[in-house]
Amino acid sequence: MSAVAQASHRVLVIGSGWVGAGAARAVAARGAEVGVIDIPTHPWLADRDDAATAALRAELTAIDATAVINTAGLLRGSDQAMESANVAFPTWLVEALGDAGVRLVHIGSAAEYGDPGSAEPIVEASPCNPTGPYGITKHAGTRAVLAARDRGLDAVVGRGFNLVGDRLPPSSPLGQWLTDVAALPISGGMIEVWEGRTFRDFILLDDLAAGLAALAVAPEVPDIVNLCSSTGLHYGEIVESLVGAAGKSAEVRSLGQGGIMAVVGDNRRLESIAGIDPQMSLRIVAERASL
């Protein structure tokens, strides 16, 4: 769809963090109008009451929104904080949108799949068996959105996989490795990896954001879309590539802690809807990842 054809789309992005800012840029790049709710400066969002619903409806009316992209969520924190951000908020959001006549694009997580048991690409209809507070709460949020879709809400969940881009959160594994590499002396040293054999699907933030924007303006959307590259990379090899790109040398030591060994997504739905073919490699990670 051309930018001119999409000019009638007006998208409200909830969250102005790393992913939210990327989504807003991607929406604008598609020729649609965009508004952003910066969560820290809109504390009413956390109240999830009638006043919050009225305030949200006012934000929608202000730009005559046709879609909402919800990038709000929490990667880690207390059980109560994770439940509030990843479950209670999207549960309230679908009720607040109600009959507003807008599409909801909600960002989910590959962690919802749990352990697929192999490195074969996971399709959206694959069973979910999340482990840990993050995956469990994200999956509960997804279920709330899909239940609203079953009741008639125009809604889709974009399941985000591991992100690569500028200004990575230091708390992410990739951000931690970049911090470790930066701290290495020129003479070299050692970097420890939880489990070097871990195999994960990585996607550029630009590509994930383009997928979210496409879901906001597409004529029709399915229930779930994997936002992934369908390319798996080993943690140990990623760290080695970061060390090499920094012009340093280091021994990369795997602590052999196990865990879920492989999670790779099938991105055919993403390619079909967004018209993009996300590329990923060790070279791309080394060139594009930064703190």
Could you tell me if residue 174 is inside a domain?
no
Taking residue 220's Cβ as centre, other Cβ atoms within 10 Å add up to 8
Could you tell me if residue 192 is inside a domain?
no
Cα–Cα distance measured from residue 268 to residue 276, given in angstroms and rounded to the nearest whole number? 10
pLDDT of 6 reads: 52
Cα distances from 105 to residues 23, 154, 165, in angstroms, run 11, 9, 22
- Could you tell me the pLDDT band of residue 5, with boundaries at 50, 70 and 90? very low
Tell the residue number behind the tokens 């996300």, with chain if given: 278
The model's pLDDT over 21-47, given as tens digits with 9 standing for 90+, comes to 999 999 999 999 999 998 777 888 888
Could you tell me if residue 178 is inside a domain?
no
pLDDT of 12 reads: 98
- Could you tell me the pLDDT band of residue 58, with boundaries at 50, 70 and 90? very high
Cα 173 to chain centroid distance, Å, stands at: 15
Could you tell me if residue 30 is inside a domain?
yes
State both tokens at 268.
């055919």
Domain hosting 39: range is: 3-162+202-228
Cα–Cα distance measured from residue 139 to residue 224, given in angstroms and rounded to the nearest whole number? 12
Taking residue 225's Cβ as centre, other Cβ atoms within 10 Å add up to 27
Could you tell me if residue 148 is inside a domain?
yes
Q: What are phi and psi of 261, to 5 degrees?
A: -80, -35
**CB neighbour list of residue 251: distance below 8 Å, 6 or more residues apart:** 188, 189, 190, 191
Q: Does residue 57 or residue 42 have the better pLDDT? A: 57
Tell the residue number behind the tokens 């490195």, with chain if given: 119
Read off the pLDDT of each residue in 53-78 and give the average, rounded to a whole number: 95
- Could you tell me the pLDDT band of residue 3, with boundaries at 50, 70 and 90? very low
Could you tell me if residue 244 is inside a domain?
no
- Could you tell me the pLDDT band of residue 187, with boundaries at 50, 70 and 90? confident
Could you tell me if residue 252 is inside a domain?
no
Could you tell me if residue 279 is inside a domain?
no
Per-residue exposure over 241-263, b if at least 16 CB sit within 10 Å of its own CB, e if not: bbbeeeebebebebeeeeebbbb
Domain of 94, CATH number, reads 3.40.50.720
Structurally, the chain folds into a number of domains equal to 1
